[in-house]
Structure 1
């Protein structure tokens, strides 16, 4: 078994052999003030390389959407740094900021609400060019590019003149993906992009995203509650709880050998469709409710629901435990006093 060790660094990935496309270090974001101050992000670290997918998981209220807004430049962090190719987007102004916004785009959760019902598919896909006019300079080039984007996401040229109410949910999400690709971004933040779709349609949209990544080299930050979807599409996984990264590592390593009790509980609660991955472990039932983000527990913030918690969990902030990956990928890190080493440790 790979060696484990502890460190005082935050629970984020190491920088790796190659410079990352996106790197977040120590990002904190709070809302409100005084006794009603809510810390949505608390020292978050993450890294995204070119052409890879980072899965972001955790229960509702863990900070995933706030982190997405920070990555898109819509929320300024209170502390910490965000770098795209070494550039701080929050230091940019004017044309430099406008040019940077091309590089990071969004695919929204609800394909029924995210498309303007009064606009045709062609108008929706070409909408970003109304702001970034120099990307596709003339009408003929725009028509050609719209047809190319429709083809990329598996739609027909004739679909360009149809309206959202004429498409199925999966087709609408394909239009949303085409719109996100219109500016040739380096990163696309996907916020629950298949949760509103039927199961068979989810698979189709996920395959479209995977094919586009192979073809275009675009990187994804993929936010989802569905762990089977995250496992299918992600290269690495970051697990969040109450604004904190509690575990990070290569996807298969995190899913097959979770170190943090919270991650193990999430895996235990997820339906298993692949019987080859099924185990005889008992389901983990967490006690209590998720604490209020206005009153985060002392020490380990997961301790009030953790079946392995001891007295030190209430008084000491847990260290980062690092399990060597044994390969070229990131090490597997977890923020825990008593990390799990195997599924047999769940009980």
Structure 2
């Protein structure tokens, strides 16, 4: 049974302060985004809340079509939400215009999934890294200063000065992604949105790129929103994890809380399907197999949107949308929330 002194039910929403007591760098509240109209109306995001502190990494996970990429476009200011708010240091980027908007765009940059497609094959590494300065001319206005800064950025991501004049076809996949990271750093951003940045790379190269990102964060204090379907990668690099399903945040908490004690049945199923490298744990937990297909985002189930695939579902799940059940994080850390009528408890069985 849950400890009533530690568990409450409340509408989901990020705190106005992080667990370190400081205001969040990025705060999203109730963001909704739909596409189309009438019966062909698709709800990509439905009341999404999240926050990101300075110098931390928020992992964003969920199956394809859950809304991760749409949320990334909202965070980058490329899609305007239909409802809800987005704040960077208290500033609404969608209220900015002209020079103010241009200055804000320096603060949020992107590392793309495919290092082969995201770099112009006709440009050298130096041209690719310095490309943002064509728009933001005042960041490094002097040509000599630009050359120096490019060498610094190459060094930061583990490349050599001599690589500056090489073209993308002369680099490996991991080296190309390092160029993409250097380009994202060229404007000294506060936040970098990483959309599946290592999924196109071999396993050993993934580890190298992840280490580069971690070292840069330690050195520069940059924050990451890290989108991935690879749970082992998310666990390695993230401070906190947000789990999405059909456009809604269904679980959120500190990384170890979510991985060690998932509270939403969907999260538990994801965790059970992840490969286990520790052979001593092989067979310790059985894989949870979900039945049925993901519902169409054009026809989201009533009540709990996961109920059509959840063996724990009851009549209440169809009739009533769940609110977030909040539990203190391990050791008094960040709150651990699950959007479920019957959240899993530590030590209890799935069914």
TM range (shorter): over 0.9
Quick check: 1:261–1:339 contact (8 Å CA) kept in 2?
Answer: yes
Counterpart Cα distance in 2 of 1:233 and 1:7: 30
The answer as to whether partners of 2:10 and 2:326 remain within 8 angstroms in 1 is: no
The aligned counterpart of 1:308 is: 312
Is 1:203 the equivalent of 2:204?
Answer: no
Summarize deviations over 1:88-117 as a string: whole Å, max 9, x none.
Answer: 000000000000000000000000000000
**Residue in 2 aligned with 1:146?**
150
Preserved CA contact (<8 Å) 1:323 1:333: yes
Residue 46 of structure 1 deviates from its aligned partner by: 0.2
Q: Which residue among 63, 80, 90 is the counterpart of 2:67?
A: 63
- Residue 260 of structure 1, CA deviation: 0.1
Normalised to the residue count of structure 1, the TM-score between the two structures is 0.97
Aligned to 1:9: 11
Answer yes or no: is 1:136 the counterpart of 2:163. no
Cα 1:188–1:41 shift into 2, 3 Å: same
How big is the shift at 1:276?
Answer: 5.7
**In 2: Cα distance, 1:11 partner to 1:81 partner:** 12
User: How far 1:272 moved relative to its partner?
Assistant: 1.0
Is the 2:63–2:245 Cα contact (8 Å) retained in structure 1? yes
Distance between the aligned counterparts of 2:117 and 2:85, measured in 1?
Answer: 32
| Pairs within 5 Å for 1:91-130 | 91-130=95-134
How many residues are paired up? Answer: 347
Q: Deviations over 1:8-33 (max 9, x none)?
A: 31254563321000000000000001
Alpha-carbon distance change, 277 to 240 in structure 1, aligned in 2, over 3 angstroms: farther
1:1-347 equivalences in 2 (<5 Å): 3-10=5-12, 12=14, 15-16=17-18, 17-275=21-279, 280-327=284-331, 329-342=333-346, 344-347=348-351
Shift of 1:282: 1.3
- How well do the aligned residues superpose, as a CA RMSD in angstroms? 1.4
* Paired residues of 2:75 and 2:86 also in contact (CA < 8 A): yes
Q: Offset at 1:278?
A: 5.2
- TM-score normalized with structure 2 length: 0.96
What is the alpha-carbon distance in structure 1 between the residues aligned to residue 332 and residue 100 of structure 2?
35
Residues 57, 225 of structure 1: 8 Å contact kept: yes
In structure 2, the CA distance between the partners of 1:328 and 1:143, relative to structure 1 (3 Å rule), is: farther
Unaligned runs of 5+ in 1: none
Unaligned runs of 5+ in 2: none
